[in-house]
Each structure stands twice: as C-alpha cells, then as structure tokens.
C-alpha cells in the first residue's frame, strides 16, 4: 500500500538509466538525472493509488520506499484558492492561486526538504547541508532537526530578519556567508563530492527536487484531474518549475489528465538569466546579480537546471517573463488587499509576471490560470507601521468608526 | 450534502433556546450563547456526514447554512504531529502536537475568522471589527478582504513587527490603540451593541467561536476517532479552550468518540486570572496585567468566557497551569531544535504548561497527550543573529565543515 513506484535515475541528456542510489549526475555524460516511475502501474491503477493526506499521499510517485524514512512536518495539501475578484481585475476567465505559504516553514521548500532529508536517511547520511538565500535554509534545518540529523546552513547575509531567526532557531550550525550565492555554491559543491554531508541544494539532487512534483499532483487533484490551461511557476535555479512540469507530464503519460498545462516561467528582472536566453533564443549566460526583493529568486547562474528549464519551455511552447522589484512589491500589496492573501515578494513574482504577460497580450485571457505562490508574507522584512497609539474614550472611538465606515 | 445541522443558540446559563439570528447574549438572563446541533442526525449518520477538506469539511457542525457564505483561505486541516523525541525528553508515552501554524495567516484564529466573516455575510453586515493583540487582527482583516468587506482593526501597540506589517497589508483601517486590551474592549463593546460593524471579538460571538471547534474534530479524526487522553489548550479569553472542549463533548454525545479527553487550560503566568481562580476555588478576579511574550494570552479580564472555562474545568475534572515568560521562550527554542517546529511564544505556552504539570507530577506520564500549538514562529519579533558574513575559499570552507561535523 502506498509503495514507491520509482524505478530508475535516468539521464535527461543521454537517457542512461541508473539504479536508485545516491548519485548526482550521469556516469556516462555528466548530465542531470531524473527519477522515472512504473508508468504502466500508474496507468492501470490510476489515482486510486493515492492514500492519506499531505505530501506523502503522493508516495507512489516519490522515491522513498521505506515508510520509516518518510518524515513529515505536515507539508503539502496546501490550498488552491479560486480568486474571482482578482481574476476580474486582471480580466481573465478564472484565476487559481496555489498558495504554498501554509506549509510548516511557510514555503514550497518544505516539499523538497521532506524528500531530501528522507533520502539522507535512506542513504544513511549523518548530516545535511544547504547554501540558501533563506527559505531553503530554515526548511532543511527544520526537517533535519525532525529527523535528528545535524544540519550546516549557509545563509545569505541579506536574508530577512524572520528568515535568519528561523534558521538560528532550527540549526545549531548557521553560517552567514559574504558574497553571492553563485560563488559559494561552486566550492560547496566540491564538498558534496567528498560526501561530507547529504546534498540538500537545488542544483543537482533528483531526490530533493522530487518533493516539489507534488505541487502538480495537488493542482491536478484539486481541480478534479482537469488542471488549469496555464500554470506559472517561479524560476531561480529551476527546481520548482522543472518538478511541476515533470509532474504534469507524468500524469499525462499515465492518462490521469487529458493534457498538461502550458507552463510559464517567472523570474525577477534583476535575476533573469533564463528569461534573457529564452527571448534571445540562445543558451544561458550567467549574470552577476545584486539584490532583489524576491530573495528566493536571486540566482544569476542557474547552471544545468537553467538549461533544463529552457528545454522544457521550448519543447512545451511555454512562456517566460520577469518582473521588476517595484512590480513585485505592488503585487504583494494588491494580493493582500484584494484577496486577503499575505505572501512574500519571492512568492508573488509569478503573479506579477502573469499580470505583465496579460498586459502585453501574450496570453489569452479566456483561459484558466494558476500561479504558484511559493511563500508566506510572514518572512517579509519591512518597516512596520508606526506604533504610536491613540487612547480612546467612547466618543472618540465612535467618531472614528463612523468616519472610517462612511 | 454537507448541510449545517445547527438548530439553535442556547443560553449556557438558563438553557433558553433562541433562533439562529445574530445575537450575542440571552434575552432572558444575558448569559452567553452556544450553538446546538441536531445530535440525532450526528448519531445516525456518523462521520460519513463529513465531505471535502479543510475547515468546511466540518460544515455539518458549523452554523453557516448557505455554501455561498463559506469563504475560505484554506484554513484547517493542519498537521497533528507525533513527536517521539520530545515525548522521550518529557518522559511521556506519546505526545502529539496539533500545529496550527500552517494556517493561511499562521494561527488558529483563521478557524474562527472563517466562521465569523461567513456569519457577517450571512447576516448582511457591511463591515467587521476586532480589538486584537495581533493575530486576530491580521486574520479578521485577511478574511474580511477575502469577503470584500472593509475591516476596522484595533491593534495593540506592542504587537510584533511581523504582526503589524501583516495587519497593515490586509486592512485599510489599522488603528493602533494605547493602553491595554481589556480597557478598549469595554467601550468597543458598546459600538457592537449599536451594530456599527459585525462583532469579530472573542468575548461573546458564538458564530465566531464555533470555527475553532474544528480543532477537536480534526484531532479526533486524525487519531481515527480515538483522541488522546489529555488535550492542552491555551486560554486568554477562553475561546479556543471552550470551542475545543465543546467539540469533544459534541462528538461524545453523538457517539463518534468513546470518551472526551481530559482538558488542560494553559495560561501565561503574567495573565493567569483563570488559573488563580481555579487554584483558589473562587470566581475570577480580573487582573491588571503588563506585557507577556505570549502576546495572544495577554487578557487580564476574561469576562464571562473565563467563568465558562472554569465551569468546564470543574465539570470535566480538568487541570490548569501557567508558565513564566522564560519557560515559554525556552520551550520555543526546544521545540525548534528537537522537532524542527518553529512556533511563537503564544503557540508554545501549552507545551510549557504541560512540561510544568508533568514535572510537578500532576499528570500521569503513561497517558497520551496533545498540545495545541496555536501559532507559527514566523511572527516572533526578536533580535536576529549577526549578519556579519564570512567569505570562504575551498580550504576555509572544508575546515569549517569538518570541524562542525566532528
């Protein structure tokens, strides 16, 4: 019951199939690996394979075979919110938001942290590590703590205060790094090769990435296996985008859905290496980037996964867009006021990009859209409103209330 | 399908049954009202009455009959986490944490906000209001925005920065009040009587309170209708405690569970009016209180609901405990490090109280325990760790990693 149907780690470049060990690239060609499953079983049994709730409901399409390794903090099962008021403002037929803020650490990262740390247990590792702009760090630290494993968390010096607090609370080994993500990752990757810790990074580990595939499965199941026409996913290194696109492709191959949605990749303009390459019809040129309010999208060099995103976009006739920081912040405010959803800048970049593509008439507004909102707003660092309070008596309170509600 | 089985608003003092209108107290005796349901239908149909997911799965035992009023941001359906490592540390047989951080605004308040704002729609109100220490404010504002209703949010001047930011994002009418909750609530209540807005406060509205009853239903369903022996719920005004206790009682009357758990009320020592009265065997004496890190528990005068909590405790042979601020903060750190769960001080007060009662040998450690963890840690305001970063090369990075993992 609820067995994993994973069969191989298959190279996305040369197609070589490897057994299910801890392996980060193809032995033959150094290509990235993806997990492949028993599609005939998926076809035969259909969604009746799924049992339970949350992320592990989708255990048949995840690579963790031993239930004892399936650790959880209650990730997944997040709401898919129909937003008619915002849809009307954007002039589209229907808008659904897959709001991943209500995950245990407040972000989509919990999906991949669950499968990453589960894989660390599966392969007998005694420690984990990740280089993070903030969200991945607190998530990997939390899941490692839950598993009883020490974690080494490298955090970006400009991470927001709530993110730093969260990381410091959940790991005994928080190390603040100077400089940009892309530089540290290069030397950190060498320690991964030496197997000093389990790789909880986003750039190569197929087991980690796989948890995010549940986004696609949940969107499909929550729409009665009739997913929206268009799904907008964020792209930093590309993990969420790739996993979501693969999930829909897998369900389509298995006959669970009639067609896979068109995928739109969303980037911050200040970190838009994939968007540029797509527009120019070229390969990716790594960018030296600075700060963007969409902290989780601050990757200038998406590496091999960036190339994978490009390929998926070109094969699937997808689109890509980017949004400026001011557009992202305006979208954050708008979403809170119009629908009551408080999401972070990283989280709303998809919605900002969707609004931009609609304004440029690059998408048909008669379609149904889904944007993945990848993080809660509670990790946002900004100046709070003034705390200068007013003392009321009955008359002043009554006057204020009637004025405000007039 | 999924009809509400609510039948009356019944006075908890004199037993008078009123029709399901907007009414905050008994016409006859001014007693508090509670919702009563068609128990024979609950008995006859059993849990098969429940359909769908999240809070509205429990619509048969909620008072909103029109599905069009059942607004949602995806609240409810939060994880019940088995915590064997922490259970071992506390020396108990089994410890479950009902972690309500993964709600849309990060707290248990979303359960009552959903039914409060749904009731505002049901009764045709055009605006909502609440006086809040922070969590209720952002939650009521978010649900009001979702419903398209303006909200007037009165927030405590010492609310944490993330709470203030959240409230300012979700309402156009955030008013910071000077002084304590208890004083403002007295004059605000007079405006409630004038029906200037829908009462989204915790002190009297039976429709609002009802949403929190789903905590009990979820705990029961997640344990296969065999709930834990002991459930620890926080008490400020008493809404969460009362709703949870009522939920278990209702399920017991309906035969869904064999017995209701023993209820333990948890307070902050700095706001422990209920705990004092219980210990002294007296009625509640309102306290003048100052600041406690458990911001959401900072009520010195729990009013009529406090008396209701006392009655439930005495009838049910329950217990009450309180925890000092330093114990609460230590519990917050411990929960993050041992189980990876990052909850706020208000949220972990139950666990701190449970640990205290166990240490005092006032509970049998051979039982199974459940503590309600009512809020995420992401709203915590504290000094973040130093942002002073280190620049690494391969050798310095390798040395650090091997040292830390030695």
**B177-192, pLDDT tens digit by residue?**
887 777 788 899 999 9
pLDDT score of A265:
98
pLDDT by residue (tens digit) across B265-277? Answer: 999 999 999 999 9
Task: Tell which phi-psi region holds residue B40, choosing left (phi > 0), alpha (psi between -120 and 50) or beta.
Answer: alpha
Among the partner-chain residues A103, A340, A405, the one whose CB lies closest to the CB of B102 is A103
Residue ranges of domains in chain B = 80-106+209-379
pLDDT score of A168:
95
Among the partner-chain residues A143, A157, A173, the one whose CB lies closest to the CB of B340 is A143
Alpha carbon of A142: minimum distance to chain B alpha carbons (Å): 4
A362 token code pair: 């690059």
Residue of A nearest to B159 (CA): A387
- B21 touches A: beta carbon within 8 Å: no
- B50 touches A: beta carbon within 8 Å: no
Question: Which of A52, A98, A102, A380 is the best substitution to test chain B (most B C-beta atoms within 10 A)?
Answer: A102
B152 and A74 within 8 Å at the Cβ level: the answer is no
Question: Which of B84, B340, B397, B402 is the best substitution to test chain A (most A C-beta atoms within 10 A)?
Answer: B340
Contact partners, residue A99, CB within 8 Å, separation at least 6: A78, A79, A80, A81, A341, A343, A373, B73, B74, B104
Mean pLDDT computed over B60-75: 98
- A377 touches B: beta carbon within 8 Å: yes
Mean pLDDT computed over B73-81: 98
Describe chain A by its helix, strand, coil percentages, rounded to 5. Answer: 45, 15, 40
A342 and B398 within 8 Å at the Cβ level: the answer is no
A379 token code pair: 């990790």
**Burial status of residue A160 (CB atoms within 10 A of its CB: 0-12, 13-18, 19 or more):** buried
- A398 touches B: beta carbon within 8 Å: yes
Distance CA B376, CA A393 (A): 34
Is the predicted pLDDT of residue A43 greater than 90, yes or no? yes
A157 token code pair: 């010096």
Task: Find out whether B282 and B294 touch, Cβ atoms under 8 Å.
Answer: no
B122 token code pair: 């049901």
Is the predicted pLDDT of residue B228 greater than 80, yes or no? yes
pLDDT score of A113:
98
How does DSSP classify residue B256?
S
A106 and B378 within 8 Å at the Cβ level: the answer is yes
pLDDT score of B159:
83
B362 token code pair: 């006032």
pLDDT by residue (tens digit) across B18-42? Answer: 999 999 999 999 999 999 999 999 9
B79 and A104 within 8 Å at the Cβ level: the answer is yes
- A401 touches B: beta carbon within 8 Å: yes
Among the partner-chain residues B143, B385, B405, the one whose CB lies closest to the CB of A340 is B143
A191 and B138 within 8 Å at the Cβ level: the answer is no
pLDDT score of A1:
58
DSSP string, B84-112: HHHHHHHT-SEEEEEE--SSTTSBTHHHH
Alpha carbon of A255: minimum distance to chain B alpha carbons (Å): 24
Strand partners, A199: A129
B142 and A172 within 8 Å at the Cβ level: the answer is no
A135 token code pair: 């969200």
Q: In which band, very low, low, confident or very high, does the pLDDT at B1 lie, cut at 50, 70 and 90?
A: low
A340 and B146 within 8 Å at the Cβ level: the answer is yes
* CATH 3.40.1400.10 holds for A80-106+209-379: no
Distance CA B297, CA B312 (A): 19
B284 token code pair: 């509640």
DSSP string, B276-311: HHHHHTS----------S-GGG--S--HHHHHHHHH
Residues of chain B with Cβ-Cβ distance to A162 below 8 Å are 162, 378, 380, 384
pLDDT score of B381:
85
B73 and A53 within 8 Å at the Cβ level: the answer is no
User: Among the listed ranges A117-121, A253-257, B247-251, B398-402, which one has the minimum average pLDDT value?
Assistant: B398-402
A191 and B401 within 8 Å at the Cβ level: the answer is yes
Q: In which band, very low, low, confident or very high, does the pLDDT at B350 lie, cut at 50, 70 and 90?
A: very high
pLDDT by residue (tens digit) across B287-316? Answer: 998 889 999 999 899 999 999 999 999 999
Distance CA B42, CA A97 (A): 34
Q: In which band, very low, low, confident or very high, does the pLDDT at A398 lie, cut at 50, 70 and 90?
A: very high
B205 token code pair: 């509205």
pLDDT by residue (tens digit) across A138-188? Answer: 999 999 999 999 999 999 888 888 889 999 999 999 999 887 777 788 899
Neighbours of B244 (CB within 10 A): 28
Distance CA A399, CA B223 (A): 50
pLDDT by residue (tens digit) across B109-157? Answer: 999 999 999 999 999 999 999 998 889 999 999 999 999 999 999 998 8
Among the partner-chain residues B169, B188, B394, the one whose CB lies closest to the CB of A336 is B169
Residues of chain A with Cβ-Cβ distance to B105 below 8 Å are 342
Q: Write down the pTM of the prediction.
A: 0.97
Strand partners, B319: B264
pLDDT score of B59:
98
């Amino acid at each position: 019951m609820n067995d994993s149907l994973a069969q191989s780690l298959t190279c996305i470049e040369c197609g070589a199939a490897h057994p299910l060990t801890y392996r980060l690239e193809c032995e033959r060609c150094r290509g990235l690996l993806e997990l492949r499953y028993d599609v005939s079983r998926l076809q035969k049994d259909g969604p009746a394979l799924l049992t339970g709730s949350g992320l592990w409901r989708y255990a048949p399409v995840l690579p963790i075979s031993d239930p004892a390794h399936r650790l959880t903090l209650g990730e997944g099962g997040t709401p898919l919110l129909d937003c008619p008021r915002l849809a009307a403002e954007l002039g589209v037929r229907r808008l659904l938001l897959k709001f991943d803020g209500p995950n245990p650490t407040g972000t989509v990262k919990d999906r991949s942290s669950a499968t990453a740390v589960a894989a660390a247990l599966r392969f007998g590792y005694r420690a984990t590590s990740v280089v993070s702009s903030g969200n991945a760090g607190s998530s990997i630290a939390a899941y490692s703590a839950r598993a009883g494993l020490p974690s080494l968390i490298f955090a970006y010096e400009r991470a927001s205060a709530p993110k730093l607090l969260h990381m410091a609370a959940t790991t005994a080994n928080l190390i603040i790094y100077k400089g940009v993500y892309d530089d540290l990752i290069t030397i950190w990757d060498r320690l991964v090769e030496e197997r000093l810790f389990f790789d909880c990074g986003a750039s190569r580990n197929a087991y980690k990435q796989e948890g995010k595939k549940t986004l696609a499965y949940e969107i499909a199941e929550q729409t009665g296996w009739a997913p929206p026409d268009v799904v907008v996913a964020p792209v930093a290194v590309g993990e969420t985008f790739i996993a979501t696109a693969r999930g829909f492709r897998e369900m389509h191959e298995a006959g669970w859905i009639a067609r896979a949605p068109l995928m739109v990749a969303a980037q911050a303009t200040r970190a838009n290496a994939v968007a540029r390459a797509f527009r120019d019809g070229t390969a990716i040129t790594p960018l030296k980037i600075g700060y963007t309010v969409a902290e989780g999208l601050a990757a200038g060099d998406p590496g091999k996964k960036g190339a994978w995103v490009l390929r998926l976009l070109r094969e699937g006739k997808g689109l890509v867009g980017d949004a400026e920081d001011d557009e992202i912040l305006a979208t954050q405010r708008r979403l809170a006021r119009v629908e009551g959803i408080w999401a972070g800048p990283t989280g709303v970049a998809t919605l900002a990009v969707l609004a931009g593509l609609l304004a440029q008439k690059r998408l048909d507004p008669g379609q149904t859209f889904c944007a993945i909102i990848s993080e809660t707003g509670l990790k946002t660092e900004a100046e709070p409103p003034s705390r200068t309070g007013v003392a009321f008596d009955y008359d002043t309170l009554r006057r204020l209330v009637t004025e405000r509600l007039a």
